[in-house]
Chain A
Amino acid sequence: MSAPIDNPASGQAVAVDQPSRPQPRQSTFSRWANRHRKWLFAAPAMVFTAAMLIFPLVWTIYLSLTNAQGSVRAPKSFIGFDNYIDVLTDTERFWPAVGRTLVFTVGVLIAQMVLGMCIALLLRRSFRGQGIVRVAILLPLVATPVAVGMMWRLIFDPNIGPANYLLSFVGLGPFSWLAGERTALPTTMLIDVWQWTPMVALILLAGLTSLSDEVDEAAAIDGASTWQRFWFVTLPLVWPSVLVALLLRGIDALKTFDILYATKGRGGGSFHEVETLNVYAYGLSFDYNEYGVASTVLILFFALIIAAMLALTSRTKER
């Protein structure tokens, strides 16, 4: 609980009324600064963010209504909603990119939530050597995503990579992994799951650690099975942490760029096999300089992100 020290409406310190308080010696500036400290402190950060955020947003909306392309200084004319019609009827690049974005996001979220919960439950009780395990799950999380992409390129290389080599011992494969037209997207999803499942695990572990054992033990005494205890006792209690993890990971998964670009390069590969909305918008902007169309894709992409966030947070309020 954070009770404000003084009354924010008047900016008057509560303590002023108390007769015993020694009066601080203050210059006019200091008095002014203290009275307006709420905005004095908050304004620089807000001005910076607004300048870096609002101008681009307005500019992007404007560009999406023009035929801007080529050089950033090239003349452009207002064409209304033509870009939107073009993009929304584009079944070759746009809709497949939407599909890939959704498949990627939903797929990695499910895998990361399930695996993250398993890891968190596994590490919940302390054991010898837990320090090493915690280090091991922290490393992927802080590794540079582009370097991680390069690393997996070697591991998943169909000829010289260890992935096919190891799987051959259990009679699986060989798989074409990133090189295959159909296997590329699932492979990038595997990489994302490797890198970010630890984040979900750490968040859920923090949630689990804050629970008391008593309810769980009471349920055990009442004869609940391990699965019942998890499903009806632990999961509802840790649910706020699940939602935080889902929201944080969901936003980042929708915007995934680094590992896709590092593993498949421009345009999501020669058949656009991993081209998500973010990769598509980047390609339109900086490979083809189609700023007008790119802005339209970005506006629609942004709308998708906001819609997903609102859907998640409104579910939170219901609970």
Chain B
Amino acid sequence: MRVSSGYRVFRIVAIALLLFIMLMPLAWMVLSSFKTNVQIYDTASVFRFTPTMENYQKVFQQANFGKFMWNSFFVAALSTGISLVLGVPAAYSMSRFVMKRQAVVVLMARVIPGVSLLVPWYYLFSNLRMVGGYGVLILSHMFVSLPLILYIMMGFFDGMPTELEEAAQVDGLTPIGAMWHITLPMSTPGIATASILSFIFSWNNFMFALVLSGADTKTLPVAIFDFIGYASIDWGGLMAAASVVTLPIMVIALFFQKYVVSGLTAGAVKG
């Protein structure tokens, strides 16, 4: 279709503006993390400054972020892994046997406000002496991961033809065998999508860890508050901490960009 040159100019300007608005704040955060607090307060030294690693030293040595990074990774990996083991077969069953009502129950978990679960969980798990441990964090993050994995995998299985499975059964495989040897290997893109999204959501989760984690099991989003004091804010340290929290997950997301986008837009087309 013909495009007028006026529109073309408008489009370039609009895209440039979009790029600026999306990227400037992130760039500012990273830039500030290499500045001393004096340089942050001086608006004249936006780009002209000697980068310092002082903030990152604070983050990793004094604030012990290495440990918290491991906590975030460990909880995200395990909650994603266990949710896959539970969620993929369930999604398969709910897709193939059209269990709409059962699926709604699991998907309700996405709708309910987290706080309303936290009070009873806190009560239950503190009686079981589990609060502050990894177990309760993994369980609570699974509550986010499982519905997500179920939602994505159900859409994936719905769109997958059943002929190959049927052919495998005619050739002598049991229904479970056909699922294991035929359907599952064909589902790798769907499983990749579900896993990466589940990992991102768990890594970014804040409220559950805020209540249920202990001093040693804190995840990164909770640990970042160590840089906010009552009197003043250590801006350099805070920006370094924020960068340490969010840059790893952004790099992972960029690496698996195709899967992240297909997961986030799952259900958009079929409606």
Contacts and interface: CB of A to CB of B under 8 A. Distances in A.
Interface string A289-302: 00100110011011
Nearest to B19: A136
Contacts of B250: 139, 142-143
A118 B15 CA distance: 11
B124 A55 contact: yes
B6 to A, nearest CB: 12
Given A122-B11, A151-B29, A56 B200 contact: no
B1 A301 contact: no
Contact of A165 (B43, B176, B224): B43
Given A21-B172, A145-B204, A4 B117 contact: no
Contacts of B146: 45, 48-49
A314 to B, nearest CB: 15
A138 B260 contact: yes
Interface string A194-231: 10001100111111001001000100100000000000
If over half of B's interface residues share one DSSP class (helix, strand or loop), that class is named, otherwise mixed; here it is helix
A15 B207 contact: no
B101 to A, nearest CB: 11
A172 interface: no
A210 B269 contact: yes
A45 B29 contact: no
Interface in A230-249: 240-241, 243-245
A75 interface: no
Given A21-B172, A38-B97, A282-B207, A154 B220 contact: no
B22 interface: yes
A257 B206 contact: yes
B265 A46 contact: no
Contacts of B22: 136-137, 139-140, 194, 198
Contact of A278 (B1, B102, B113): B113
B113 A133 contact: no
A251 B123 CA distance: 26
Given A147-B243, A154-B238, 10 more contacts: A18-B170, A20-B170, A42-B102, A59-B120, A63-B119, A139-B253, A147-B242, A281-B113, A281-B115, A282-B118
A295 B118 CA distance: 11
Contacts of A85: none
Contacts of B233: 153
A100 interface: no
Interface stretch (A26-34, A91-99, A181-189): A26-34
Interface in B81-129: 86-87, 89-90, 92-99, 102, 105-106, 108-124, 126
B261 A302 contact: no
Interface string B5-33: 00000010011001101111110110010
B267 interface: yes
B52 interface: no
Interface of A: 2-6, 8, 13, 15, 18, 20-24, 26, 30, 33-34, 37-42, 44-46, 48-50, 52-53, 55-57, 59-60, 63, 72, 118-119, 122, 127, 132-148, 150-155, 160, 162, 165, 194, 198-199, 202-207, 210, 213, 217, 220, 240-241, 243-245, 251, 255, 257-258, 261-262, 265, 278, 281-282, 285-286, 291, 294-295, 298-299, 301-302, 305-306, 309
Question: Can you list the 8 inter-chain pairs with the closest CB atoms, starting with the nearest?
Answer: A240-B271, A45-B90, A41-B93, A41-B89, A56-B120, A147-B242, A142-B253, A59-B120
A286 B271 contact: no
Contact of A257 (B18, B109, B207): B207
B221 A144 contact: yes
B99 A42 contact: yes
A102 to B, nearest CB: 15
11 contacts: A49-B147, A56-B119, A59-B120, A133-B15, A136-B22, A143-B246, A144-B220, A210-B269, A217-B1, A245-B268, A305-B112
A144 B203 contact: yes
Given A2-B162, A45-B90, A133-B19, A144 B249 contact: yes
B112 A53 contact: yes
A153 to B, nearest CB: 8
Given A5-B162, A72-B126, A295-B119, A46 B102 contact: yes
B25 A152 contact: yes
B177 interface: yes
B174 interface: yes
Contact of B26 (A39, A139, A286): A139
B264 A141 contact: yes
